[in-house]
Structure 1
Amino acid sequence: MNIITLIVLTSFTYLTHSARILGVFPFIGKSHYFLGSALMRALAEQGHDVTVISPFGERTPPNGSYRDIVLVKTRETFERKLKVNMFDVGELNPLISLPFLMIMLSELGTLTLQEPPVQELIHSDEKFDAVIVEQFLIDDLKALASHFNAVQIVFSSTGSNLWIDSLVGNPSPPSYVPSAGLSYSSQMTFLQRVTNTLVYLLNVVMMHAYVYPNNEQTVQKYIPGAPHIEDFLYNASLVLLNSHHSFSQPVPHVPNMVEIGGFHIKPPKKLPQDLQTFLDGATEGAIYFSMGSNLRSVDLPTDKRDAILNAFAKLKQKVLWKWEDEELPNKPKNVEVGKWLPQQDVLAHPNVKLFVTHGGLLSTTETIYFGVPVLAIPIYGDQKMNAQLAVNDGYGLSLPYKEVNKETFAQNLDEVLNNPKYSNNAKAKSKLFHDRLKTPMETALYWIDYVIRHKGAPHLRVAALDLPWYKYHVLDVIGFVVLVAAIGGTVFYVLLTRMCPLLFKRLKNKVKTN
C-alpha cells in the first residue's frame, strides 16, 4: 500500500467517526424546528447516530441512524396557550412582553422533562457523546448533557444575545449591542441606549430572580442525581450561532462561539409545474409575499388585507402569496396563492424582484442568500431589528404594521421595485454571504466533530467564566484605586493643613526681619 492510499484511508476513517448525539429542540415554532431538523439530519447523513427530542418529528427520516422522540403533550399544551392572533402581539411594549415570554418559555423545559418518552430516556442506560440544546430560555435542558456525561453544545436560533453571552463569558455591552426585541442599530441615540440598558437590566434580573431558580427546581425534580444549575449552566463547549456578518450586526464572539447563519439553505430545486409556469410567465417581474411559518396571512384584519390587495391589483408584476386558506377574497388577476410554497426555490427564480416579508431571521437569511430586496412588515421579536438592518444596509424598506394602508403599502412597493439601489445592494449582500472558506453547514459539522474529538475542547473556554462578577467588571480594582486615591488625598490634605501654618509663620518672620 503506497503512502497516498494510506493517507486517504486514514482521513476517511477519521472524518467518518460516528458519535452518538442527542438533539433537544422543544420550542413550539416551525421556524425553530426547521433549523434543528436541518442540523440533525445533516449529522445523521454524515454517519452519526442521532436522537432528536422535538414537538414535531420527521415525516421522512434521513439516511443513517435517526430517531425521533416527539413531545406530543408539550405541543398540545402550548398550542392551546398560543391560540392568539399574533398580529396583536407586536403592539406590546418590550418591557411588558419580555417578562411574559420568559415565564412562558421557562415552563417549556418543565413540560419537556415531564414527557414519558423523555423520562424513559433519562432513566435508560443510553450514552451520548454530545447533547445539542437550543438556547431559548430553556436552560434546564442543558442538565441532560451532564446527566449523560456528554459534551454540551448550545444552538442559538438567532445570533449572540443576552441569554447566551453571559453563559460563555462573551461581552455584550448595552452601549452598542441592541437587544433583539428592539429595532435599534449599533449606533444608538442616547434615549435608545437608555431603553436598551433598561431591557438589558430587566433581562438580568428576570434570569437570576425567576428563570434560573425555576430551572434548578425543574432539574432536581425530573433528573435523578442532577448537579446544581451552576455546574451545567456555564459548561457549553460550543455555541452555534444562526448569524453571519453579511446579515447581522458585527458583535464580539469568544472562541467557542461559531457563526453558521444560512446553514439550513439548500441549493434550489425545480419548482412544481404550476409555480414554474406562473413565475416563468412573469415577464414584468414577480413579487413573493409570505408572513412566515408562525404568522398567518389569513389572520390579517380585513382592512389591512384589502389595502394590500388594492396595491397589488395596480401592479404590472405578478404576485405569489402564501395564503393559508382555499380562497383569497377579492383576489386580483395578477395574484396567485398557495397554502404552502417552497420559499427557497421561489426566491431562487430569476423573475422574483421583491420579497414582502415579516422580517423573520430565516426569511431574511434566505432573501440575502438569493440577492432579493425586501419590503418588511415586522410584527414581533427580532423581526423589527432584522427589518431595520435591511433599511440600514439599503436592500429593503420597513413598513410598521400599524401604518399599513393602501397608500403607504403602494408607495413602498413602488420605491423598492423601481429604485435599482435596493436590488444592487441585495446582490452585494449576497456576495458577502457566499464569500466563506466553507459552507455554513460544513462549518457546523466540523466544529461539532471538533469539540467531540477534543473532549469538550476546554482550551476554548475563556477565563471570564471563572471570575466572580466583581472581578469580571474590575470593581475590586476600581475600589482599590479609589481607596488608594482617597488615602493619598487624605494624607496630602493632612500634611498640607499642618505644613501651611508653619510655612506662613516662617514667611511672616522673614518679612519682619527684612
Structure 2
Amino acid sequence: MYKILYVLEAVLLVCLRTSVPSVVSENPVPPYRVLVLAPLASRSLYHLCRSLSAALGDAGHSVTLVSSFPASMKHERVREVGTGDDNSVIDDANIFDVAESIMRTYSFGMNAAEAIGRKMWSSEAIKKLWKERNTYHAIIIIGYGNEIAVPFLWGYEGAFINICTPGVEYNHLTMQGNWLPLSVIPSLFQPFTNHMTFLERAVNLPSEMLTFAKNKYIVIPRIQSLLQEFFPDMPPLEDLYFNSSLTLINGHFSLDGPVPLLPTQVEVGTINAKQPQPLPKDLEEFVTGAGETGVILFSLGSIVKATDIPQERKPEIRLTTDFYADSQFMASNLLENAAKKLNLVS
C-alpha cells in the first residue's frame, strides 16, 4: 500500500512540475517502471502521452508507451511498443461526418476501438507485455475508447492511473465516486460552459444522462464482448476500470470552471506545453510582416483535415475571416496555399 502511494506521489510530482514549473521537488524519488497505454488516440493525445512519458523519463523513471503510432521518441528511458495497427481508422476519418450526430460519434468510436483492439490483442509484443504487467509500478490509461487496454489491470497489483483527456468530464469523475450534480458539469455534446443558464441546465441534464447511459449500457458491454474473445474469464470491465488510484485531468479550472474535486483528481492542464522556441525564418517573416494588424492562427486540431470541410460550412468560416479582414490568417498546418484553394482565406 505504501509503495503504491509513493508511486502516485512520484507521477503526480512529475505532472505538476511539468504543468506548473514553480513546483520543485526537494527530495529525490526512487526510479519506477511506468506503463502508458494509449492504443486508441488522435495525434494530439499521442503527443500528450509522449510529453508525459518524456517528463517521467527525465525524472529518472523507466517508461513503456503503447500506441498505434510509429515509434518517434528518442529518449533513453522511454520505449515505444506498437499495437500492430497503423491508426488509419482514426487518421482517415472524416470528423465532420462523424460529428453529424451523437450516435454516429459513438458508432465511430466503438468501431475504431474494436478494430484496434483486435489487432492489439493479436500482437505477440502486446501479449508479452501483458504477461509482464506486474513488473510495472504504475499503469496509466487515457480515457475514451481505451477500455480495450483494461485487461492490463486484471490481476495487476500496482497503481492504476487514468487520464481524463477533455478536461473535467462527468463520467470520469464518477469513476472515483465524485457524483456531482448534472446541472454543474457541461455535457461534452453540448456547446455549454460552466456558466449555464437555467434553460441550458435543463437541457444539459437529459443530455448527460443519455451520455452516461450509452456508455454504461452500450459502449462497456460491447468492449466487454470483444475482450472476452481473448480473455474468456476476465471480470466485468467496470470492476477493473473504475478502480483507479489517481485521475489526471487534462484541463484547468481557469478554462473549465472550478468544480469540487477529490484529492485523487488533479488538473494537470498544459502538461504537454513546450518551452518557447524561435520561429522558423519564413514564419517569422510572415508574422512580423503583418504589422500592427497581427496574425490569427486558424487551427482545426490534429484530427480534422481542411479538405474534409463540407461546402455548407465554408461560408461560415469565410464570414469569420471577413470580420477580421485586416489581420493575416495562418493555417495551423502552415499550408497557406491549400487553404486558399479551399477559398477559406483571401
Query: TM-score, normalized by length of structure 1?
Result: 0.55
Kindly tell me the number of residue pairs found equivalent between the two proteins: 320
CA drift at 1:104: 3.2
> In 2 relative to 1, CA 50–323 (structure 1 residues): closer, same or farther, beyond 3 Å?
closer
Q: Is the 8 A contact 1:128 1:148 kept in 2?
A: no
CA drift at 1:318: 2.8
1:88 & 1:219 partners in 2: Cα distance?
Answer: 28
Aligned to 1:300: 309
> In 2 relative to 1, CA 256–120 (structure 1 residues): closer, same or farther, beyond 3 Å?
same
Q: Larger helix proportion, structure 1 or 2?
A: 1
1:375-399 deviation per Cα after TM superposition (whole angstroms, max 9, x unaligned):
xxxxxxxxxxxxxxxxxxxxxxxxx
1:244 & 1:138 partners in 2: Cα distance?
Answer: 23
Q: Is the 8 A contact 1:55 1:72 kept in 2?
A: yes
Q: Is the 8 A contact 1:135 1:155 kept in 2?
A: yes
Q: Is the 8 A contact 1:128 1:149 kept in 2?
A: no
Aligned to 2:84: 72
Which of the pair has the greater relative contact order for Cα pairs under 8 Å at 6+ separation?
Answer: 2
> In 2 relative to 1, CA 163–313 (structure 1 residues): closer, same or farther, beyond 3 Å?
closer
Query: TM-score, normalized by length of structure 2?
Result: 0.79
1:17 & 1:271 partners in 2: Cα distance?
Answer: 38
What stretches of structure 1 of length at least 5 have no aligned partner?
1-10, 332-336, 338-404, 411-514
SS of match in other structure, 2:135: coil
- 2:237 corresponds to which of 229, 233, 236: 229
Q: Answer with 1 or 2: which has the greater Rg.
A: 1
Q: Is the 8 A contact 2:170 2:185 kept in 1?
A: no
2:268 & 2:322 partners in 1: Cα distance?
Answer: 36
Matches within 5 A, 1:96-135: 96-97=103-104, 99-101=106-108, 103-104=110-111, 106-107=113-114, 108-124=116-132, 127-135=135-143
- 1:20 corresponds to which of 17, 33, 38: 33
> In 2 relative to 1, CA 35–72 (structure 1 residues): closer, same or farther, beyond 3 Å?
same
What stretches of structure 2 of length at least 5 have no aligned partner?
1-23
Matches within 5 A, 1:28-427: 28-62=41-75, 64-73=76-85, 75-76=87-88, 78-79=89-90, 83-92=92-101, 94=102, 96-97=103-104, 99-101=106-108, 103-104=110-111, 106-107=113-114, 108-124=116-132, 127-223=135-231, 226-284=234-292, 285-301=294-310, 308=318, 311=321, 315-323=325-333, 327-328=337-338
SS of match in other structure, 1:114: coil
SS of match in other structure, 2:263: coil
Aligned to 2:14: none
Q: Which amino acid aligns with 2:330?
A: L
1:59 & 1:245 partners in 2: Cα distance?
Answer: 32
Q: Is the 8 A contact 1:106 1:214 kept in 2?
A: no
2:257 & 2:99 partners in 1: Cα distance?
Answer: 22
Matches within 5 A, 1:4-15: 15=28
SS of match in other structure, 1:52: strand
2:133 & 2:252 partners in 1: Cα distance?
Answer: 39
SS of match in other structure, 2:330: strand
1:301-340 deviation per Cα after TM superposition (whole angstroms, max 9, x unaligned):
4675577399569834333223576843757xxxxx9xxx
> In 2 relative to 1, CA 121–225 (structure 1 residues): closer, same or farther, beyond 3 Å?
farther
> In 2 relative to 1, CA 196–317 (structure 1 residues): closer, same or farther, beyond 3 Å?
closer
Aligned to 1:433: none
Q: Is the 8 A contact 2:71 2:81 kept in 1?
A: no
Q: Which amino acid aligns with 1:30?
A: R
Matches within 5 A, 1:433-512: none
Aligned to 1:374: none
> In 2 relative to 1, CA 157–310 (structure 1 residues): closer, same or farther, beyond 3 Å?
closer
1:51 & 1:238 partners in 2: Cα distance?
Answer: 19
Q: Is the 8 A contact 1:53 1:70 kept in 2?
A: yes
CA drift at 1:295: 1.1
> In 2 relative to 1, CA 311–16 (structure 1 residues): closer, same or farther, beyond 3 Å?
closer
SS of match in other structure, 1:69: strand
CA drift at 1:239: 0.3
> In 2 relative to 1, CA 197–74 (structure 1 residues): closer, same or farther, beyond 3 Å?
farther
SS of match in other structure, 2:206: helix
Q: Which amino acid aligns with 1:104?
A: N
Q: Which amino acid aligns with 1:257?
A: Q
CA drift at 1:296: 1.7
> In 2 relative to 1, CA 109–100 (structure 1 residues): closer, same or farther, beyond 3 Å?
same
